[in-house]
Amino acid sequence: MQRPNTKSYFLKTFGCQMNVYDSERMTEALARDGYAATDDIASADLVILNTCHIREKAAEKVYSDLGRIRDMKDARKRDGKETVIAVAGCVAQAEGREITTRQPAVDLVIGPQSYHRLPELIERTANTREHIVETEFPGDEKFERMKAPRRVSSPSAFLTVQEGCDKFCTFCVVPYTRGAEFSRSLAKLEAEARELIAAGAKELVLLGQNVNAYHGEGPGGRTIGLAELIRRLADIEGIERIRYTTSHPRDMDADLIAAHTEVPQLMPFLHLPVQSGSDRMLTAMNRKHRAEEYLDLIGRLRSARPDLALSSDFIVGFPGETDQDAEDTLSLIRAVGFAQAFSFKYSPRPGTPASTHEDQVPEEVKSERLQRLQALLDDQQADFNAQALGTIVPVLFERRGRQPGEFVGRTPYLQLVHVAAEGDLVGSTANVAVTDVRRVSLSGVIAAA
């Protein structure tokens, strides 16, 4: 039974798609507990920041937001109203009690493995006015405890299939903030996928920090990999598109490559971070693959699916990176040809091995290398999008655009497409004739069936 909607909450999500998924689940749990969402942070009874710790900028942004939220809390207090401030996500997991020390207005610090306890802990801190820090990695399963009929806010729905990472790249906080790899069982994922489809989803985006290392319990208790999971999900009536992210080159096995040939719903787009094109850097990063192995893998993937569009993450200015190393990364990018990519300056993260290296790269050098790398990636993205001009592509429409009568969707290659049309296209797939191409998006008109 639901309580009357007396309390409001404001939830802000930082970082990756995993946080977006977790925020959706928190939203569902709060709705069951009688909370109503508000966009007006100043009037919210509960403010939750679902945070990201991957780079320093993301983590510092949380503290500047918290300063402003504290002022709002003080202002509300003068009007006789209480506010609960909760910090969730990876900053919560990584910094724990340090957060309440640095910003005492925070009432609750809750790590990603404890979200099933969110309503209970909010109530406890509201009643006792005590700081609560909950960052254990409990053995029990948060997914089960957060069970709820799924709602979907978009025809493209996230489904978390795997969490955590055992790779320990030397720059990365994820193995510490999200813990060891854990895969959900096929039975649970099929059930959640069916709920999502019944609620209107057309596309499933399978999420995991290391999604292609998926090894969940399958039929008869045997362990299955991501390829088999994808095949089983593709059999569910109504699933039009499947994607998965984020993958590690080492876990891209032959079966998963074959799935790109065999499963029609598996979209021809792959985010496969390489980080660097220099073997020296890849070794220092503990990436467990060499540049040549990555190129060879791309070759096999393209043999399986010739139109596969590729995306990657890059880090520039990792400790000890020379001009030659940076040049090697540009060469790898030229050899692959990416449809899109993300690139970052190396950011030393407390507790990770690389953060204590002595040969840190100066900020100006990082900036200069990032600029060159991004210019090349931008050109490649523009070239990739230009190929779409004059073609007809199937677009799954995800939402309305800003202009009246405008709809926004995606091609199989994840390109954004804007179209003006009559009626309501959201949730449907239609062929679009591409008439205009910009660097990051396409536009066109609905093509006659």
Q: Which is nearer to ligand 5AD, 100 or 352 (CB)?
A: 352
- The residues in 240-299 that bind ligand 5AD, with binding defined as CB under 6 A, are 273, 275
Q: Are 186 and 216 in contact (CB under 8 A)?
A: yes
- The residues in 52-91 that bind ligand 5AD, with binding defined as CB under 6 A, are 54-55
167 contact, one of ligand 5AD, ligand SF4, none, CB 5-8 Å limit per kind: ligand SF4
Q: Which is nearer to ligand SF4, 211 or 425 (CB)?
A: 211
Closest residue by beta carbon to ligand 5AD:
313
251 contact, one of ligand SF4, ligand 5AD, none, CB 5-8 Å limit per kind: none
> Minimum Å distance from CB 57 to ligand SF4?
17
Cα separation, 42 vs 71, in Å, equals 9
DSSP code string of 60-96: HHHHHHHHHHHHHHHHHHHTT---EEEEEHHHHHHHT
Give the ranges where 156-253 is alpha helix by DSSP (H). Answer: 174-177, 186-198, 226-234
Binding segment for ligand 5AD (CB under 6 A), chosen from 65-73, 103-111, 133-141, 345-353, is 345-353
**Is 172 near ligand 5AD (CB under 6 A)?**
yes
238 contact, one of ligand SF4, ligand 5AD, none, CB 5-8 Å limit per kind: none
Chain residues binding ligand SF4 by CB under 6 A are: 165, 167-169, 172, 174-175, 209-210, 248
112 contact, one of ligand 5AD, ligand SF4, none, CB 5-8 Å limit per kind: none
Q: Which is nearer to ligand SF4, 200 or 348 (CB)?
A: 348
3-state helix, strand, coil in the chain (%, to 5): 40, 25, 35
Q: What strand order describes the sheet that includes 35-37?
A: 35-37, 7-13, 46-51, 84-88, 108-110, 132-134
Residue with tokens 């489809």: 197
Burial of 362 (0-12, 13-18, 19+ CB in 10 A): exposed
Sorted by sequence, the CB contacts under 8 Å of residue 321 that are 6+ apart come out as 276, 278, 281, 346, 361, 369
Residue with tokens 């800003």: 402
Give the binding-site size for ligand 5AD (rule: CB under 6 A).
12
Q: Which is nearer to ligand 5AD, 55 or 117 (CB)?
A: 55
> Minimum Å distance from CB 107 to ligand SF4?
30
347 contact, one of ligand SF4, ligand 5AD, none, CB 5-8 Å limit per kind: ligand 5AD
DSSP code string of 384-402: HHHTTTT-EEEEEEEEE-S
Q: Give contact residues for ligand 5AD (rule: CB under 6 A).
A: 54-55, 171-172, 273, 275, 313, 315, 344, 346-347, 349
